[in-house]
Copies of this chain bind each other. A is one copy, B any other.
C-alpha cells in the first residue's frame, strides 16, 4: 500500500504533488469504503486531508474519476501481492491449499478492498469497465492456479475437471462472503465469521473444501 504517513514537514506546508495525490487516495479509499459511492462526501475526504477539495478536482477531475482511481490503486495492490505467490515448489494438493490460505488471509487483511468491490458491483462495475488500466491488469493468481491444476490433473491427484477461473471463483466466494457479509450474517445467525478465535477454523474449512472437491472420487456419484 502506497500510504502516506510521513510526518508533516516541521517547517509547515511544502508543495508535493505526489504526496498530495497519495494522501487524497488514502482518505478517499477509507471514505468510499465507509459509506459507499453515493454516501461518500467529497467535502469529508477533503477535510480529512492536509489539502482542500479544490485539489481533488485539480488532480482527479471529479468524484467519479476519484472513485475509479481508488479502485485502480486497490486492484494494483492486490495484483502485486499475487505476484509474491510462491507455491509451485509444493505438490499440487499442498500448493492449492496454500493458495487458498493466502487468498483467505488477503481478504481478511483488506476489508476496505472487499467493501469497494461490493460497492462497485452495486454500480454494475461501470468504473472498472471505463478504466483502461483495469482492463489490462490481468491476474497472476489465475496463472498460478492454471499451472497447479494441470500438474494435479496430469498426476491423477485431481479428479475434478474445473478450470482455473471456476476454481478461483470458488475460493474467492468463501473468502469474500465471510468478510463482506459478516454484518448481516452475524445479526441474523448470531455468529461472527471474522471473530479471531474462529479464524483458524474457517481457514482450514476452506482448504478442506477445495481439496475435497478437487480430489473427490467421482465414481461415487
Q: Is the CB of A129 within 8 A of B187?
A: yes
Q: Is the CB of A121 within 8 A of B180?
A: yes
Chain B residue numbers with a CB within 8 Å of A191 are 165
Interface residue ranges of A176-221 to B (CB < 8 Å)? 176-178, 180-189, 191, 193, 202, 205, 208-209, 211-213, 215-216, 220-221
Chain B residue numbers with a CB within 8 Å of A129 are 187
Q: Is the CB of A213 within 8 A of B220?
A: no
Q: Is the CB of A189 within 8 A of B173?
A: no
Chain B residue numbers with a CB within 8 Å of A119 are 36, 122
* A174-B168 in contact given A117-B184, A125-B183 (Cβ < 8 Å): no
* Complex Cα spacing A186 to B128, Å: 10
Q: Is the CB of A205 within 8 A of B170?
A: yes
Which of these, B173, B186, B189, contacts A168 with CB under 8 Å?
Answer: B189
- Shortest Cβ distance from residue A131 to the other chain B in the assembled complex, whole angstroms: 9
Interface residue ranges of A86-126 to B (CB < 8 Å)? 115, 117-125
Q: Is the CB of B120 within 8 A of A118?
A: no
Q: Is the CB of B38 within 8 A of A180?
A: no
Q: Is the CB of B128 within 8 A of A184?
A: yes
* A139-B189 in contact given A117-B184, A121-B183, A169-B178 (Cβ < 8 Å): yes
